[in-house]
Copies of this chain bind each other. A is one copy, B any other.
Amino acid sequence: MSSTGPISIHLLGLGRVGRAVARALLRDQRGLVALATVEDRSGVFRIDTEAPDATDRAISIKEGGAPLSQTGLDPWPEDRELGSADLLVDLTASDRTHTRICKALRQGCGVVLANKIPISGDAEYFRLIQDAAQAGNASLRASATVGAGLPVMDALVQGARADVCPDRITASMSGTLTYLLEGLRAGKALDDHLAEAVSKGIAEPDPTVDIAGRDVLRKATILARLSGLSDRVLERESFAASGATRAAGEAIQREQSIAERTGQAYLYLAELTAEGIRVGFRRVKADSDHARVSGEQNVFVIEPGPGVAPVSISGPGAGITPTARAVLRDVFTIAAGDPGHLPLV
């Protein structure tokens, strides 16, 4: 990473989070970081740091649905690969950025991820990223991928560095599934309520990854890897195995009723231990931290080990603003010289 002048940033992906991050970086007056280039499917474009207003207007055009190539920004003259940036920020939801991330890290370019896919897939791919970070002595931070607004990842990474892994982490970390469970509890039909969640933007247009429990599993995998716990998948129970049908919803509602009659709540949780990851439904006491979750909140309960009381962290775990803020924190934390979340071992 260059040691003089501001850290120059290449922003990959200009969706809603990407545009919020881009605007915050354009408006930052402290000279610590500079947005150098942005990229979407239509190409790579240069940001004129002398003309932030013009860039802001170009991003507004993108907001209206146009590709970057139609915003009036100057194309980046070099190849499509990362320009001359010190920091690559991946705000896509693409499964095709892994190679670029590895390449950037090997060249000493830091990486900030809001994209979960590059670090939640095969253990082999994760190892390649760790190796690249080590080879390039480059920082990678990924606070936005799990519990975006919450200080979960740093706490766990620091624990792992000090060789004090927690005994157990339980997490409620899907805003979509929490929303669906709340609707079911209020007597709504699952299929109707899911359609509503999609139309409100709470669920993805294709909610399959959420409904299958795959999004929660991705987050749990990242959490396990960065906290030094096992990323072995012991169990993944689908939220609605047969699809988000009315009947699947009724089955969940029966379980909710049974739980409530005994002072419990029926929730979809991830559980991480030294043995591995379990993702699925659990009954918890109605007055527990997990049962208090609502809306887009996430709840993480970290059990540090014998003789120490659990730590509970709750708050907004997703959404545009918390995610954009998490990305910005990661960018400035790397700019301050932080060694990042990788490599741990």
Contacts and interface: CB of A to CB of B under 8 A. Distances in A.
Contact of A329 (B149, B159, B308, B339): B159
Interface in A251-290: none
A26 to B, nearest CB: 13
Interface string A147-178: 00111101100110111100000000000000
A297 B308 CA distance: 11
A338 interface: yes
A308 B312 contact: no
A315 B325 contact: no
A250 B50 CA distance: 65
A30 B325 contact: no
B333 A158 contact: yes
Interface residue SS majority, chain A? mixed
A158 B332 contact: yes
Nearest to A287: B292
Contacts of A159: 325, 329
A149 B339 contact: no
Contact of A336 (B161, B310, B328, B333): B161
B322 A315 contact: no
Q: Which of A154, A162, A312, A322 has the most C-beta atoms of chain B within 10 angstroms of its own C-beta?
A: A162
Given A155-B154, A164-B328, A312 B314 contact: yes
A30 B162 CA distance: 10
A147 B31 CA distance: 33
Interface in A282-319: 295-297, 302, 304, 307-316, 319
A308 B148 CA distance: 12
A322 to B, nearest CB: 6
A312 B149 CA distance: 11
A322 B308 contact: yes
Contacts of A5: none
A64 interface: no
Given A164-B325, A304-B322, A311-B315, 14 more contacts: A149-B311, A150-B311, A151-B154, A151-B311, A158-B333, A159-B329, A163-B332, A164-B328, A164-B329, A308-B316, A311-B314, A312-B315, A336-B339, A338-B338
10 contacts: A149-B309, A158-B329, A162-B325, A296-B309, A297-B309, A308-B319, A308-B321, A312-B312, A312-B313, A338-B339
Interface of A: 28, 30, 149-152, 154-155, 158-159, 161-164, 295-297, 302, 304, 307-316, 319, 321-322, 325, 328-329, 331-333, 335-339
Query: 5 closest A-B pairs (Cβ-Cβ)?
Result: A151-B155, A311-B315, A337-B339, A162-B332, A151-B151
